[in-house]
Amino acid sequence: MNVYDSARMTDVLAPLGYEPTEDQTQADMVVLNTCHIREKASEKVFSELGRLREQQEENREQGRDLIIAVAGCVAQAEGQVIMDRSPWVDIVLGPQTYHRLPEMVARAERAAAQDDRRYTTNERRLRGFGILDTEFPAEPKFDHLPMPTAQGPSAFLSVQEGCDKFCTFCVVPYTRGAEYSRPASDILAEARKLVSDGARELTLLGQNVNAYHGNAAQGTGTWGLGRLIRALADINGLDRIRYTTSHPRDLDDELITAHADIPQLMPFLHLPVQSGSDKILRAMNRGHTGAEYRAKVDRLRTAVPDLVLSSDFIVGFPHESDADFADTMALVRDVGFIQAYSFKYSPRPGTPASAMESQVPEPVKSERLAILQEELMRQQNAFNQSCIGKTMAVLLDRPGRQPGQLVGRSPFMQPVHVPAEAGTVGDIVHARITSCSATSMAAIPVGKTGHDPLTTDRTCPV
């Protein structure tokens, strides 16, 4: 979602004459697009703002200005704090207002033209310089954004935003707002545009993407995510469909059936569980049990036998005992994951969990995380090793780091390195896996296809 938002901010700034640069020292504006999920990310923002202040002063000495903006969820949650701690920041905007960024930039440029930089940071604050916009507008921001442009064979497409689940550890409902689903007709139009630009794979985005319930493309009523995916699969030239991030509570029969019926829907699903302990899941307000999670996984794998999973885990949540952690380890071993994101619990200000008693000591969190990550890495390695000798359809999406090499993604989201002569970026090649590491694989091409009918020997059981 943050990558998508950054691309859309680039789109809305283009009419003002701004274009991206890889050299920050040459920038006329720097936008920090931020995440508030973990504490360290928030502190990184203020560290980076200190460095940017120095660059801003250097630019001023050279007769140039530097507009500094902070966007995203840290901006939403701590906007006034940013303005108070770093009053040299020109713009602070939340994730629901970046469609208004051109107006904010125009105001900031006018302020710069008035030479407000001659004032000290305290004087700037007292004189009211600085723009803070962290409202939740009544109108959807998507109604005011230009059509995106695909920058390669794989593109993101936001279909849903916000969250109504209120997990006790999470800030997303407070920074992204209530769940909102875009109309299906708007999504289909954007998808056709991205495919016409050269995208062959679309990843549908949402904080709770499988809670999607947008207005139907024709007639009345609403579509769920499964129905939307069926319509997307009819777009000529769209060879691959993925979606993230899902909530187990919203995984319904229609979506499971779509996995079974639609070959373009990749056999890889990110399905966060967070814990295997029912006690901890209740404390997290997840709305499901470990058994219910296992049952949904079983239904998925009955529908699609070669489907694989990734997940999210939090260890050291308040009140987590050794027995609770053992339940998590049991779920990991029972289900099997080919990838996972795992973290120590990090209290986020304003969330219910941050005020809970029985916070787990840091050394205990660290020990449990090490044990969990060792098992997750063992499973990931085992899966990758099981793929050696298999033939997979690989969508080549970027040049490799080594000369004569291209990199793409397997149906299971693994990075696959193939010789460059196998094709060009945007091609789908059938490649036989020859070796692997913990995080990627190497392959040799055995054929190229214009479409992506997954090969019959794609199965790589954990």
Expressed as residue numbers, the domain containing 414 is: 388-445
Q: What CATH number does residue 22 fall under?
A: 3.40.50
Q: What is the CATH number of the domain that holds 194?
A: 3.80.30.20
167 is in an annotated binding site: yes
Q: What is the pLDDT of residue 455?
A: 40
List the CATH number of the domain containing 417. Answer: 2.40.50.140
Domain end (from 350, 368, 385): 385
- CA dihedral of residues 383, 389, 392, 397 (deg, nearest 10): 80
Distance CA 394, CA 153 (A): 12
Query: What does the DSSP assignment read for 66-114?
Result: -EEEEEEHHHHHHHHHHHHH-TT--EEE-TT-GGGHHHHHHHHHHHHHT
Judge whether 458 lies within some domain.
no
341 and 205 belong to one structural domain? yes
3-state secondary structure at position 281: helix
Helices 322-335 and 362-386: crossing angle, nearest 10°? 10
**Looking at residue 462, what is its pLDDT?**
38
The total number of structural domains that make up the chain: 3
431 beta partners: 392, 445
Could you tell me if 157 and 31 lie in one domain?
A: no
Q: Are 305 and 346 in contact (CB under 8 A)?
A: no
Q: Is the peptide bond before 245 cis (omega within 30 degrees of 0)?
A: yes
Statement to judge: residues 241 and 353 lie in one domain? yes
Vertex 302 angle, CA 301 and 308, to 5°: 10
Structural domain contains residue 410: yes
CA triple 51-57-58, angle to 5 deg: 90
Asked if 110 and 250 sit in the same domain, the reply is: no
Indicate whether 122 and 174 sit together in one domain.
no
- Is the residue at 325 inside a domain? yes
| Burial (0-12, 13-18, 19+ Cβ within 10 Å), 114 | exposed
Say if residue 170 carries a ligand binding annotation: yes
| 161, two tokens | 């935003």
pLDDT at 3: 87
| The pLDDT of residue 314 | 97
- Backbone angles phi and psi of 158, in degrees to 5: -80, 125
CA 263 to chain centre: 23
Same domain, 108 and 161: no
Number of Cβ atoms within 10 Å of the Cβ of 264? 22
Task: Give pLDDT tens digits along the chain (462 positions).
Answer: 888 899 999 999 999 999 999 999 899 999 999 987 766 777 889 999 999 999 998 888 888 889 999 998 889 888 899 998 898 999 999 888 888 999 999 988 887 766 555 555 555 555 556 898 888 776 677 777 888 888 899 999 999 999 999 999 998 888 888 899 999 999 999 999 999 999 999 999 999 999 999 999 988 899 999 999 999 999 999 999 999 999 999 999 999 999 999 999 999 999 999 999 999 999 999 999 999 999 999 999 999 999 999 999 999 999 999 999 999 999 999 999 999 999 999 888 889 999 999 999 999 999 999 999 999 999 999 999 999 999 999 999 999 988 899 999 999 999 999 998 877 899 999 999 999 998 899 999 997 655 444 443 444 433
Nearest to 429 by CA among 411, 452, 413: 452
Q: What single string gives the DSSP state of each residue in 354-408?
A: GG-SSPPPHHHHHHHHHHHHHHHHHHHHHHHHHTTT-EEEEEEEEE-SSTTEEEE
Claim to verify: residue 104 and residue 180 sit in the same structural domain? no
Q: HSE on the CB side for 401, CA within 13 Å? A: 3
Same domain, 172 and 69: no
- Residue 126 Cα distances to 92, 116, 120, angstroms: 17, 12, 10
Q: Select from 133, 153, 184 the last residue of a domain.
A: 133
Any residues with CB less than 8 A from the CB of 146 and at least 6 apart, and which?
A: 11, 12
- One domain, residues 11 and 70: yes
**Residue 23 C-beta-side C-alpha neighbours within 13 Å:** 2
Instruction: Give the separation between CA 247 and CA 116, rounded to whole angstroms.
Output: 47
How far apart CA 390 and CA 410 sit, in angstroms, is 11
> What is the model's pTM?
0.87
> Are residue 202 and residue 308 in the same domain, yes or no?
yes
Pairing assessment for the beta strands 428-436 and 391-399 based on DSSP bridges: antiparallel
Q: For residues 101 and 183, state if they share a domain.
A: no
Q: Are residues 426 and 310 in the same domain?
A: no
